Structure 1
Amino acid sequence: MDITGDAVAEPKPGRALKSARLLLRPLRVDDLAEMQRYAVDPAFWRWLPLPPLTAGSVAAFHAAKMAEADAPDRWLWAIEPLDLHRICGTIELRTQDAANRAADMGWGLDAAQQGKGYMTEAASLVLRFALGDAGFERVWAVAAVENEASWRVMERIGMRREGTLRHHADVRGVWRDDHLYAAVRGDALPARP
């Protein structure tokens, strides 16, 4: 089904997206060990409004995402650089308001792979898919005010800052302010990666 509830052809569109350097593909069972390796690093989870990640909590996340892989209202891609032949993160697109065709995006990347442009490339692919084939009118994302790397990704892919959400997330007992970014159908986006 698409975001309006109408039937769509199987398999679900957007199952795999590709650029010159990246393959965004469905999460697989054999991705768990790699996810556990990078996700337990505090540099990975520091901005997430979750308790510190452990191998067990990463396994639970992985199992939950595998179980909802065919849900019509969300997409989760493993980010696999073609030269690494292993995943280095995930990116997700979630329907937030089907009636108004609105979705949000969220992502996480192995700290050792940050600064290489992978997330900008992945987020650009997902945003173009969201505002194109997936049929969304509006896509938004948030990042901690202090997480400049993440909100700079949003800017590089053509999202615009709409404001700052004060005390938006409780991150391990500390209230965090988040910048809100969005793109809408018809916005001029940078060239395709």
Structure 2
Amino acid sequence: MALYPNYPLQTERLRLRPFTRGDVDAVFAYRRREDVALYLFDGPLSREECALAVQQRIGQIALEGEGDKVVLGVELASSGALIGEVSLIWRNVDARQGEIGWIFDPAYQGHGYATEAANALLDLGFGPGDMHRIAARCDVRNIASWRLMDRLGMRREAHFREHALFKNQWDEEFVYAILWQEWHSRREVSNAG
């Protein structure tokens, strides 16, 4: 089943929306940072690399086939400031499997924005996306990321040790996941309270 969301996705404090050419400077503000790139596959990005990345993300707004991505800018509803990005990838169409991810400007961490945005993506994947299971992964040293996965109700399913070379050293990775019925139960509890 293809997924063509209506944008923007609204949460209490955020708007998740497709990227535009005007987002290059805001993306460059956080993607040029060493501390942001530390656990990402690429290093800090130049402004030109950010412009190319934003151009690519502009078209990543629907899931039509396996491997497709929805990549959205996360902005504060109150000011319109772009504070990060979230992604939903269709990993396996037949098994209805997805993967979520996020990158946020450190200046906006610690306010629950990543949790709010990631929950909106889970709602999208499990709701209109009709996914059965959504996973996420991170470097084991990325404590903020795996704690976010815990807050989302995801379960740690794997701890891979020295399974791949990452930036010229062996990495360790956690894999978390949540099933549709687990997400649905959490939504029922939060809606009842």
TM-score over 0.5 (shorter chain)? yes
C-alpha displacement of 1:28: 1.3
Question: Structure 1 residues 133-142 or 71-80, which shifts more?
Answer: 71-80
C-alpha displacement of 1:84: 3.1
Query: 1:117-161 deviations in whole A, cap 9, x for unaligned?
Result: 110110011112111111110100001111110111111111111
C-alpha displacement of 1:168: 4.4
Give, in whole Å, the separation in 2 of the partners of 1:42 and 1:14: 34
Correspondence list, 1:19-34, <5 A: 19-34=11-26
> Partner of 1:82 in structure 2?
77
Aligned: 1:62 with 2:57: no
Confirm or deny: 8 A CA contact 2:31 2:44 kept in the other structure: no
Kindly provide the amino acid, as one letter, of the partner of residue 142 in structure 2: N
Give, in whole Å, the separation in 2 of the partners of 1:77 and 1:17: 9
Aligned: 1:189 with 2:189: no
State the percentage of identical aligned residues: 29
Question: Structure 1 residues 147-156 or 164-173, which shifts more?
Answer: 164-173
Correspondence list, 1:91-106, <5 A: 91-106=86-101
Structure with the bigger RCO (C-alpha within 8 Å, sep 6+) is 1
Give, in whole Å, the separation in 2 of the partners of 1:84 and 1:34: 13
Query: Aligned pair count?
Result: 184
Aligned: 1:45 with 2:45: no
Question: Structure 1 residues 129-138 or 77-86, which shifts more?
Answer: 77-86
Give, in whole Å, the separation in 1 of the partners of 2:164 and 2:86: 19
Structure 1 pair 45–169 and aligned structure 2 pair: CA distance change class (3 A)? farther
Structure 2 gaps of 5+ residues are none
Structure 1 pair 59–159 and aligned structure 2 pair: CA distance change class (3 A)? same
Question: Structure 1 residues 31-40 or 47-56, which shifts more?
Answer: 47-56
Q: How high is the TM-score relative to the length of structure 2? A: 0.88
Q: How high is the TM-score relative to the length of structure 1? A: 0.88
Moved over 4 A (4+): none
| Larger helix percent | 2
Confirm or deny: 8 A CA contact 1:21 1:83 kept in the other structure: yes
